[in-house]
Amino acid sequence: GQNIDQPTEMTATEGAIVQINCTYQTSGFNGLFWYQQHAGEAPTFLSYNVLDGLEEKGRFSSFLSRSKGYSYLLLKELQMKDSASYLCASLDSNYQLIWGAGTKLIIKP
């Protein structure tokens, strides 16, 4: 079966760094996505990785290891507005997105 695993909830301090992990098992692989979703709002695109390695985009970076079926989202210099759910999704061989349940990130002052 297809499965995406990510922690349900994480807590971090404003100004700190947090890493949100995601492991995936899908039928084929065509890329790994991270989306941010604030409470009561729609998901918004953060990053896309299809090759191994780290992709940096401002305060956010995303890493992929295809051999390990593993990705992480790294958030630096945390701000209160980063409090949200972070959704990991894998694009399978049929180009269908398989979504994780999301990680709720709580930022404390």
| Contacts of range 77-83, beta carbons closer than 8 Å, 24 or more positions apart | 77/15, 77/17, 78/12, 78/13, 78/14, 78/15, 78/16, 78/17, 78/18, 78/107, 79/14, 79/107, 80/14, 80/107, 80/109, 82/107, 83/38, 83/107
- The minimum distance between CB 48 and another protein, in angstroms, equals 6
99 scored as a contact of another protein (CB under 8 A): yes
10 scored as a contact of another protein (CB under 8 A): no
69 scored as a contact of another protein (CB under 8 A): no
31 scored as a contact of another protein (CB under 8 A): yes
Residues that bind another protein (CB under 8 A): 4, 8, 30-31, 33, 41-45, 48, 87, 89, 91, 94-97, 99-102, 104
